[in-house]
Each structure stands twice: as C-alpha cells, then as structure tokens.
A and B are shown apart, each in its own frame.
Chain A
C-alpha cells in the first residue's frame, strides 16, 4: 500500500458543495494526499456531482467504487446510497447497511473508519450543513490525534453541523473557508 503522510476527509451537507469547492479549488493536481469527500446527497442522484467538481478543480475527481485504492491528488466522492469506509490496506470498501443520522452516505461512518485506519495522519474537515452527522466522527479523529477543522459557523450557509462539532469537540480548530484552504496547502 502507498503510505501517505496525510489523508484529508471533508464532510458537509446543506451548503457543503459550494463550501468544499472553495476549499479545494486552489489545490494543484500534484497535491500529495488523497481527499475523501462525503456530502449528503439526494437518494439515487446520479453522477452530476462528479461533473460539478471536475469543472472547478485541478485535482482528479472520482466516485468511490468498491475496493478502489486511494491515490494522491484525487478527490473521492462518496456515492449516493452507500456508506464509504477506509480499510487499513489503503483501499475503500462500501456498505449499504442502515442509514446513520438519517444519512447514507454518513460522514460519521467514513470519519470513524478512517481514524481507525489512519489515526493521526488524518485531517478531518466539517463544513456547512443542516445535520448533526459528522461531529461524532470528527471527535473520533481528534481523539486519535488527527486534526479536526470546522468551518466558522458565522460564514456557513447552515451552521447546525459546524456548531454541533464545536460543542462536542472543545479542542477543534474553527476557521473560515479561506483559512481552511491555506491550511490544506500548508501541510504539504
């Protein structure tokens, strides 16, 4: 397996698409880490999310498929209707089990499994959203020694998600989208 220095995870719901475009659009195609993006989607919504990201990003964009290996410089979108988990061998696996926090994909599921596999190598980012999904997963990342970043709620389109995370994780870092983008470049 490729041993990455870091793996970046981004979660969002309502307002999350625009916010994640903003933090990712300046990252170069040579970005050295994989980025996994879990956005709540409409049931059975098809691939137009991929096209939206392809248009705006320099990074490669793919929808996660079962047992796909993580690669640097790629953004991996969680597919509609599947939970995405990260395995210790550097691959993804998918799961159709029950919704978590009324969601599938669920941000908590991805963040938690990633923290078990990658521990302190993780950077978790939680963006705008009208859901509490993601905060437990982000806390788990934080507890394992990874970085927990939360979008400044005053700037978020819907602040429920970032506020839930701030409440649960007193030690998390709160930042604007511009600062989050800077951070993602700074760690390289």
Chain B
C-alpha cells in the first residue's frame, strides 16, 4: 500500500527523532505524538524548509540549527504568574508550612525562560523566605536556561504580569522589582542569587536532591502517560515526606501509581502533598 502524505511525514519524523537521539542524546520517544508532529510541521513551515530531507540534513549537520529546532519542539512559551490563583495558593497554603523548615529547597522543573521562577522568587521574598531558600531551576534546553539566568523579559506583557502579580497576593509595587528599558524588563538579580541553574532532562536523568516543593507545570502535557509515570516516580523520590508538588492547571496525578501516597492540598490549583 502506498503511504499517504501524513503517514510518510510521520515515518520521516520518527526516523529523524531516532537520529537525534543517537547523535545528540535527546530522547523524544516519550513525547505525545500529535503535539510533537505539529511542532515539527510548524518549524518546517516557519523556516520555509522545502523538505523533510533538508530538515534532517540541517538538524544533524549543524548543532546551532539543532538548538533552534529543539527550542521550537519543546515549547518554551511561558509567562509570569500564569494562573494567579496557583501562586496565591502557594502564598497562602504552602509557604506558611515551608516557613517552619530552617532551610528550604525547591525544584522548578522545566523552568523555561524563567518567568515562573521569578514569580516564585518574588513570592518567597515577600513572605520573608528568600534568604533561606535554595531553588534548583532546571530545563532540558540550555538556551532557555541562559535566558532565565538573565531575567530579562519582554515589556509587552507587563499589563498581564502586573495584574497577575496583584491577583496572586502581591504586597508591593510590582514595578519595584524590575527596570524597564527599551521594550525589556530587567528583573532584580538579587531575586535569583540563591538559584542554581542546571540542565536536567526529565526523560532520562535521575533524582539529584531532596526538596520541600517541586513545581513542574505545563511540561508533562507534552509527555505520554508512560513518560509521565517515569517523571512522577522521579518526583516522588525527590520529595521529602510532607513535601508539595505543584502541577499545571490541567495536569493530574490521578492516573499515576504514586497517587495513593499523595493528598490534594488544593484541588483546583493542582497542588499535591506527599503523605508520610
């Protein structure tokens, strides 16, 4: 039987992913296919790449090109105070409990370009916890980690960020946290002085520390159930007893085997607590 256009594309995409794994070590086998295929098609269209053959040559022949490709297919879209009610709940329900520890460790897994990280740091600062908190900010993509370190975000989103900040219980003037300059916002670098930026691949790397809180939001939606299961086990190993796990608004632990060890600390904001 002759393959139709879509089947042919899917076959070529699978071959490319296989080669990418061999050559660069990035494993996309556990990524949800519909979304992955759509990203590849978008990358091809946006960059006017005439064929999958040429895409393969470029991706495998040019590591700089590969970095851009990686960035597109791993979806780095993020914002500050995404779902303000999540941050409000962290502030009201989670940070007061964390404050009983002498020293707090947090993992922001899949932190992308840092908007979520800076939102979290602002909360910690306002609750008086920043100085005794260490945050590990990780992502599979080194390029976004470099951006996260800089803390420079486009000013075009400032209205949404400002209202998100207040909706999440912000206590100061939001503008006191950044300097505005030529269309960019440069956030106060002291917010991330206790942050370690670290490349970590949730699909292949292992647990590296123990945490009181892990945030992993809008990353798991790109993974199949099987890969999600791996990641949940990894988080389970990396959380102290009574530690918290914050997921994205439409993500759930309910389908996982570790679910029985967790309670919903805040159902609508998908904040889970490990039982002891």
Contacts and interface: CB of A to CB of B under 8 A. Distances in A.
Given A67-B228, A93-B221, A87 B250 contact: no
A85 B77 contact: no
A180 B149 CA distance: 54
B228 A85 contact: no
Interface in B220-254: 220-222, 225, 228, 248-252
A66 B38 contact: no
A155 interface: no
Interface stretch (B28-36, B136-144, B185-193): B28-36
Contact of B250 (A65, A109, A116): A65
B252 A95 contact: no
B251 A112 contact: no
A86 interface: yes
A117 B34 contact: yes
Contacts of A117: 34
B32 A87 contact: yes
Nearest to A144: B6
Contact of B77 (A88, A91, A97): A97
B179 interface: no
B75 interface: yes
B233 to A, nearest CB: 16
Interface in A122-136: none
Given A67-B225, A93-B221, A98-B77, A85 B252 contact: no
Interface string B201-225: 0000000000000000010111001
Contact of B34 (A63, A66, A96, A116): A116
Interface string B128-151: 000000000000000000000000
Nearest to B76: A97
A159 to B, nearest CB: 29
Interface string A71-95: 0000000010010011110010111
B75 to A, nearest CB: 5
Chain B interface size, under 10 / 10 to 19 / 20 to 34 / 35 or more: 20 to 34
Given A85-B38, A93-B221, A112-B38, A79 B77 contact: no
B250 A85 contact: no
B223 to A, nearest CB: 9
Given A79-B250, A87-B34, A113-B34, A67 B255 contact: yes
Contact of A109 (B38, B75, B252): B38
B19 interface: no
A85 B220 contact: no
Contacts of A116: 6, 34, 37
A96 B75 contact: yes
A64 B77 contact: no
Contacts of B218: 96
B33 A87 contact: yes
Given A66-B220, A67-B225, A85-B32, A97 B251 contact: no
A67 B255 CA distance: 9
A66 B35 contact: no
Given A94-B221, A95-B35, A113-B38, A66 B75 contact: no
Nearest to B84: A44
B200 interface: no
Interface in A146-170: none
A76 to B, nearest CB: 12
Interface of B: 6, 32-35, 37-39, 75, 77, 83, 218, 220-222, 225, 228, 248-252, 255
6 contacts: A67-B228, A82-B221, A85-B32, A87-B34, A91-B225, A113-B38
List the 8 closest A-B pairs by CB distance, nearest first.
Answer: A85-B34, A93-B32, A113-B34, A94-B221, A97-B75, A66-B221, A95-B35, A65-B250
